[in-house]
Amino acid sequence: MKNNVNISINGFPVEIEKGKTILQAAESHGITIPTLCYHKDLCVAGNCRVCVVEVAGQTRLSAACATPCEEGMEILTNSLKVRNSRKHIIELLLAEHNADCTKCYRNGNCELQKLSSEYKIMTQDFIELAPLKNYSIDMYSPSIIKDDSKCIRCQRCVRTCAELQGVNALTVAYKGDKMKITTFFGKAMRDVVCTNCGQCVNHCPTGALVEKNYIEEVWEAIADPNKHVVVQTAPAVRVGLGEELGLPAGSRVTGQMVAALKRLGFDAVLDTDFTADLTIMEEGTELLTRLKKVLVDKDETVKLPMATSCSPGWIKYIEHMYPEYLDNLSTCKSPQQMFGALAKTYYAKARNIEPENIVSVSIMPCTAKKFEAYRPEMHDSGYRDVDYVLTTRELAILIKQAGLDFNKLEPVKYDRLMGDSTGAGVIFGVTGGVMEAALRTAYELVTGREVPFKNLNIEPVRGMEGVKEASIKIENPLKEWAFLDGVELKCAVAHGLINAKTVMDAVKSGKANYHFIEFMACPGGCLGGGGQPIPTSPEIRKKRAEAIYAEDGALNLRKSHENPEVQKLYKDFLKHPLSDVSHHLLHTSYTKRERF
């Protein structure tokens, strides 16, 4: 099926599929055209004009990202005209930009800086515009800092928030020289529908949107001899950290990460995967209880489908957009918060440390977790459950500041009491993972048999499709679960808030009859979170996903209920899932919020 066209790039003949843009054609033949507003996750904007190329026969230069290839096109990507124009454009951007790189959070990983260095912009002849405007920095949000003086108006963040996430917290306002990226009525991010998911931070090419960092606070805590600093690490961090430290995407660095954390001075290095297993126990039991109440007791107050609640970006989203469905959310806290609550109660008691001397830190792939840690209801331990949340990027900064040679570190195991995990805990970091972990345990609990999938890999919930569905038929259950005999458990998995909207709308209209839905705010699940290494792309996220499943496959224990430390926790402390102690420490409630 000949649907190709013949063009030439810089004199070399190239055959490319009809309809592909010049940028894609060049890329497939090893020629890089610099871009700024273009991103693989988003639609084409064509407004930065950095990718302009010369097309023979046209008086004007065309944007490579927006121009489709046509038969016979002759393209020059590096002619004198193109280079001079590009240099001008970069100089213009720099004139509008607060170019104080040495004091910027993205120093070293900024796309504008890279371009400026590539084209050797060494003088600024144009008039500096940044000092003339009164830019303000929005620092009110607990997780994201927005600095308008560094914005190059590429609109990536607006497109991300609208297309990828469907939240629409950011928009373009005004026109001409007053044009800027802002929120509704220019309010602070924390006062609008921003879910703190941090996807805008991931996609911003400069330092205009960064996460609020707590690096100095954590260093101080570590240095304080009176404080016992406990750190928990999320599953997705161990497949992303490598990218910040020079390793290829999808490198599994778990052991080295633990070794690094120990060297940094943390008193105890524990694992969020432990509480992930715990979450499965609690949430699995909750699901079965709800099913019983609905199917047997016909209790109208109990709502189905039940939705997972470990993604704080998703929580804020549903609080704003679908507050009438808050009862559908599982009352379980997220693994991070469960850990925090246990750290200052169960762990403190076991280690004989005063809870007020414990500083609970977590390393997360997520910016919304910073918001979650400061939610007013999160102090069931009697103190703030999680004191500081660091993103994967911030951890890399700590490691670099300590001068550690990451690659030379010998892998080390997690500390005891809350450091054990199973494969089910690890897969929390990928979309579909929570569902898979829950099914592995719930099915076995109900039928006494393992899930009927090869190697326990529940394929239907894996993969990068926006909304996935799976159903498991329950046959021959154990006696006490007899009411589930013949029930087909319908499940759905959604990642990226735009897909969450699709699923919630389906639930609202009555078209969906799921029992259990997993929601993750970020594309790809937590491994694509707002705190993960920049840059991000569909390929990178796929590699991280493969790494997570590989971690799962390599572990001996792969079902949450087999975790020995979890069993010990119940025996010694919690007694059983959904007990009073559990309810107090490990379950929470939600707040209705305005839609606008």
Partner 1 sequence: MPIMQAVVEREKYLSEYSMIEIAKQIDIPAAEVYGTATFYSFIETKPTGQFIIRMCKTITCAMKGKNQVLFAIQDMLKIKMGETTPDKKFTLLETNCLGWCHKAPAMMVNDEVYTELTPEKVRDILTGYMKINEQNLN
Partner 2 sequence: MKVMAISHQLKRVDFIFSNENDWEKVLSTTIKKKPADLINELISSELKGRGGAGFPTGLKWKLASEAKSDAKYIICNADEGEPGTFKDREILSKVPYKVLTAMAVCGYITGAKEGFIYLRGEYKFLLTELNKAIDEFQYYCKEIKFDFKISIFMGSGAYICGEETALMESMEGKRGEPRNKPPFPTQHGYKNMPTVINNVETLVHTFTIFKYGAKKFYDLGVQYSRGTKLFSVSGDTPKPGIYELELGMSLQDFVYEFGDGDTKAVQVGGASGFLVPRKKFKDAAIGFKGKLTGISLPTGGSMMLFNSSRSMYNVLDNYLEFFREESCGQCTPCRVGCQQLLLGIKAVKRGEKPAAYLDKLLRLTETMQLTAKCGLGQSVANSFSSIVENFHEEMIY
The residues that are catalytic are 283, 286, 310, 330, 369, 372, 377, 526
Q: Which stretch binds partner 2 (CB under 8 A): 93-101, 198-206, 417-425, 472-480?
A: 93-101
Identify which of residues 179 and 554 has a Cβ nearer to partner 1 in the complex: 179
Output 166 or 460, the one with its CB closest to partner 1. 166
Could you say which residues in the range 37-56 bind partner 2, by CB under 8 A?
44, 46-50, 52
Kindly state the tokens that stand for 516. 């259990």
* Residue 170 within binding range of partner 1, rule CB under 8 A: yes
44 binds, among partner 2, partner 1, none (CB under 5 to 8 A by kind): partner 2
Can you give the C-alpha Rg of the chain in angstroms? 25
Chosen residue from 2, 3, 57, 60 binding partner 2 by CB under 8 A: 60
Q: Among 50, 55, 73, 169, which residue sits at the site for partner 1 (rule: CB under 8 A)?
A: 169
CA angle 319, 323, 326 (to 5 degrees): 85
Q: Is the alpha carbon torsion for 542, 337, 515, 440 positive or negative?
A: positive
Q: How distant is the alpha carbon of residue 208 from its chain centre?
A: 19
Distance CA 474, CA 443 (A): 8
Scanning 34-42, 163-171, 243-251, 471-479 for contacts with partner 1 by CB under 8 A, the matching segment is 163-171
Q: Is 168 in the site for partner 1 (CB under 8 A)?
A: yes
The whole-angstrom separation of Cα 463 and Cα 524 is: 8
Q: Measuring CA to CA, how many Å separate 12 from each of 54, 55, 76, 426?
A: 15, 14, 10, 48
Which one of residues 179, 296, 402, 554 is an interface residue with partner 2 (CB under 8 A)? 179
For the bound state, the minimum distance from the C-beta of residue 354 to partner 1, rounded and expressed in Å, comes to 46
Q: Does 595 bind partner 1 (CB under 8 A)?
A: yes
- Residue 130 near partner 2 by CB under 8 A: no
12 binds, among partner 2, partner 1, none (CB under 5 to 8 A by kind): none
Asked if 436 and 458 count as a contact pair (C-beta separation under 8 A), the reply is: yes
| Residue 175 contacts partner 1 per CB under 8 A | yes
Residue 132 C-beta: closest distance to partner 1, Å: 19
The site for partner 1, by CB under 8 A, has a size of: 17
Q: Report the partner that residue 121 touches, choosing among partner 1, partner 2, none (CB closer than 5 to 8 A by kind).
A: none
**Which position among 33, 64, 93, 306 is part of the footprint of partner 2 (CB under 8 A)?**
93
Cα distance between residue 275 and residue 44, in whole Å? 41
Q: 73 or 276, CB closer to partner 2?
A: 73
Counting contacts by CB under 8 A, is residue 162 touching partner 2? Answer: no
Closest among 243, 234, 179 to 520, alpha carbons compared? 234
Q: Are 491 and 461 in contact (CB under 8 A)?
A: yes
Residue keyed to tokens 């830190």: 361
**What is the C-alpha to C-alpha distance for residues 290 and 301, in angstroms, rounded to an integer?**
10
Interface positions, 472-531, toward partner 2 (CB under 8 A): none
CB of 155 to partner 2, least distance (A): 8
Q: What is the CA 170 to chain-centroid distance, rounded? A: 18
Residue 326 in the binding site for partner 2 (CB under 8 A): no
Contact flag: residue 331 with partner 1 (CB under 8 A): no
Assess 132 for contact with partner 1 (CB under 8 A): no
- CA–CA distance, 109 with 210 (Å, rounded to integer): 12
SS (H, E, C) 88-154: HHHHHHHHHCCCCHHHCCCCCCCHHHHHHHHCCCCCCCCCCCHHHCCCCEECCCCCEEEEHHHCCCC
Q: What is the DSSP letter of 278?
A: H
Q: Are the C-beta atoms of residues 340 and 385 closer than 8 Å to each other? A: yes
Tokens of 502: 């699709």
The C-alpha atoms of residue 588 and residue 512 are separated, in whole angstroms, by 26
Among 24, 47, 171, 213, binds partner 1 (CB under 8 A): 171
183 binds partner 1 (CB under 8 A): yes
193 binds partner 1, rule: CB under 8 A: yes
Rounded to whole angstroms, how far apart are CA atoms 417 and 424? 18
Tell the smallest beta-carbon distance from residue 594 to partner 2 (Å): 23
In angstroms, give the least distance from the CB of 522 to partner 1. 19
Paired strand residues for 492: 469, 517
Q: How far is the CB of 273 from partner 1 (least distance, A)?
A: 36
Q: How far is the CB of 497 from partner 1 (least distance, A)?
A: 12
- Provide the H-helix boundaries in 175-251: 199-203, 215-223, 241-244
Distance of CA 379 to the CA centre of its chain: 24
**CB nearer partner 2, residue 122 or residue 410:** 122
Q: Is residue 596 within the footprint of partner 1 (CB under 8 A)?
A: yes
Maximum distance among all alpha carbons in the chain?
Answer: 81
Shortest reach from residue 66's CB to partner 2, in Å: 4
What is the spatial distance between Cα 179 and Cα 189, in angstroms, rounded to a whole number? 18
Selected from 176, 225, 403, 510, the binder of partner 2 by CB under 8 A is 176
CA distance 146 to 208: 6
Rounded to an integer, what distance in angstroms lies between the CA atom of residue 254 and that of residue 551? 9
**Residue (314 or 443) nearer to partner 1, CB:** 314
Residue 184 interface partner, choices partner 2, partner 1, none, CB cut-off 5-8 Å depending on type: partner 1
125 binds partner 2 (CB under 8 A): yes
* Residue 360 contacts residue 336 (beta carbons within 8 Å): no
Summarize as ranges the residues that interact with partner 1 (CB under 8 A): 162, 167-175, 183-185, 192-193, 595-596
Summarize as ranges the residues that interact with partner 2 (CB under 8 A): 44, 46-50, 52, 59-61, 63, 66-68, 81, 84-85, 88-89, 92-93, 95-96, 125-127, 129, 152-153, 155, 172, 174-179
